[in-house]
Amino acid sequence: MNIIGLLLLILFSMIHLSCSAQEKEIEPNVAGSFYPSDEKELKEMIEGFLEKAKDIKREGRPIALISPHAGYIYSGGVAGYGYSAIKGFDYKNIIIIGPSHKVAFKGASVYVKGVFKTPLGPVKVNEALASKIIYEPSNIKFIPEVFEKEHSIEVQLPFLQSVLKDFTIVPIVIGSMDAKTFDRLASNIFSIVDERTLIIASSDLSHYHEYDVARSMDSNVIDAIERLSIHDLENLYSSRKGELCGYLPVLVTIEVSRMLGANVGRLYKYENSGDVIGLKDKVVGYASMGLYKIPFTNDDKNTLLSIAKSAIREFVINKKRIDIDVKNPVLKSDGAVFVTIKKDGLLRGCIGHVRPVMPLYQSVISNAISACSSDPRFEPVKSEELNDISIEISILSPLKKVRDINEIEVGRHGLVIRKGFYSGLLLPQVATEYGWDREKFLKQVSLKAGLYEDAWKDSDIYIFTADIIK
């Protein structure tokens, strides 16, 4: 054999070995400790958990689950409620996002090819989908050793095998993460999701606090997840007033779920280890939750308009902010909102939040007040104008960075442009009202930001959709 043939043979062998390593079967790490290693015993245990949760209130098809990952004798009963909520749905692709407990690393590791084994049988990795999430420049890679002793993915699998059929998984383990990696990971996951995909964030809550302290901390975290509030979860975590061992997996899951239209979280079940085994000096908290897209009803829309009108009237006449208590969980979820005021069909004020930084109804109040009093383009609204103005509320979806301007659909998408310290936003309905095409829309948002009209060609462009209430 000549030297070239030998080199080709060695190269082929290296490729073959690399592929074989990726295709290997991942043996269970915690079978026999976190859950039974005997198939029959494991089935019976999970069936018992699901039976106790059979009367769960089902509210449609969850976009995502938050599920604990402790030993089943501690958290299996709680996990059963989440898996009971998805039983009977035809999910085919399951994206499981967990924290790394054994290996410290930067970014996210996506297992791209192979099989994960449990006592209930093998679960195949969806190679086609997993490979689309990989983006090495943002530290989203395949790092095999991350999965070798990790349990946060594994403990979800027997439950999935008990409630679903013919599914594949995309396992993702997160280490530490900067904003660039977070945004890219969320964007890449969003790009592969369809109506038969479920996202699971694997996380326990507080660790090793006294029983009442743990319940208080966990209540704060659950409330923030119910409102899909990344902002509040970040504050709770940084101030140590709330804990999640899967903090980043939960944040990523909320972000992607929001991009998919989720607007509310539901708590299925909460317990801590003190509720299970009776020892309450150092407990660990567990919650099972679902993230849902609940369409705004006509009553919801009318309530938001009424809140905006009351906020404007009270501020214009009495210079006071209204103080109201809203019970509707959809209106209490964090929302990005713009409030537009018009008079005789002409703009009279428009202010808003690009990101969801407070509950939806509070954002409506704040931006209604700002639109009538603080838009620098207009004088504050006067009391004698109140009967002549109309109000429009735009509830924004999360921003999505544009990689090709052909992604922009005029009439459906709003635009945000960012270049250095300059930024500008135009709502979707503006292009329709003025009859702009895509290029005109891009030029106008550039000018709105205080830039030259062709600045969009070398700036960051983002699109969003909006629920418009008027």
Residues 292/60, Cβ–Cβ less than 8 Å = yes
Percent of the chain as helix, strand, coil, to the nearest 5: 45, 25, 35
**Domains contained in the chain, number:** 2
Average pLDDT estimate for 72-97: 97
Residue 3's pLDDT is: 52
**Confidence bin at 50 (pLDDT 50/70/90):** very high
Structural domain ending residue among the three candidates 253, 269, 292 = 292
Q: Considering the domain boundaries, does residue 97 fall inside one?
A: yes
Secondary structure E strands in 43-163: 64-67, 93-99, 108-110, 115-118, 121-124, 140-141
Q: Rounded to whole angstroms, how far apart are CA atoms 459 and 470? A: 32
Q: Considering the chain, what percentage of its residues have pLDDT values greater than 70?
A: 95
What is the dihedral angle through the alpha carbons of 361, 365, 366, 372, rounded to the nearest 10 degrees? 150
Structural domain ending residue among the three candidates 245, 271, 292 = 292
- What's this model's pTM, rounded to 2 decimal places? 0.89
3-state DSSP assignment of residue 446: helix
Q: Considering the domain boundaries, does residue 253 fall inside one?
A: yes
Q: Considering the domain boundaries, does residue 6 fall inside one?
A: no
Residues 230 and 97 in one domain: yes
3-state DSSP assignment of residue 392: strand
Q: Which residues contact 39 (CB under 8 A, 6 or more apart)?
A: 119, 120
Q: What would the pLDDT profile of 17-34 be if each residue is shown by its tens digit? A: 344 444 678 899 999 999
Q: What would the pLDDT profile of 401-417 be if each residue is shown by its tens digit? A: 998 999 999 999 999 99
Single out the residue of 179, 163, 170, 190 nearest to residue 84, CA to CA: 163
Q: Considering the domain boundaries, does residue 11 fall inside one?
A: no
Structural domain ending residue among the three candidates 292, 321, 355 = 292
Q: What would the pLDDT profile of 325-370 be if each residue is shown by its tens digit? A: 999 999 999 999 999 999 999 999 999 999 999 999 999 999 999 9
Owning domain of residue 140 = 20-292
Q: Considering the domain boundaries, does residue 101 fall inside one?
A: yes
CA 50 to chain centre: 26
Residues 278 and 175 in one domain: yes
Q: Considering the domain boundaries, does residue 76 fall inside one?
A: yes
What is the dihedral angle through the alpha carbons of 310, 312, 313, 314, rounded to the nearest 10 degrees? 80
Residues 275/52, Cβ–Cβ less than 8 Å = no
Q: Considering the domain boundaries, does residue 8 fall inside one?
A: no
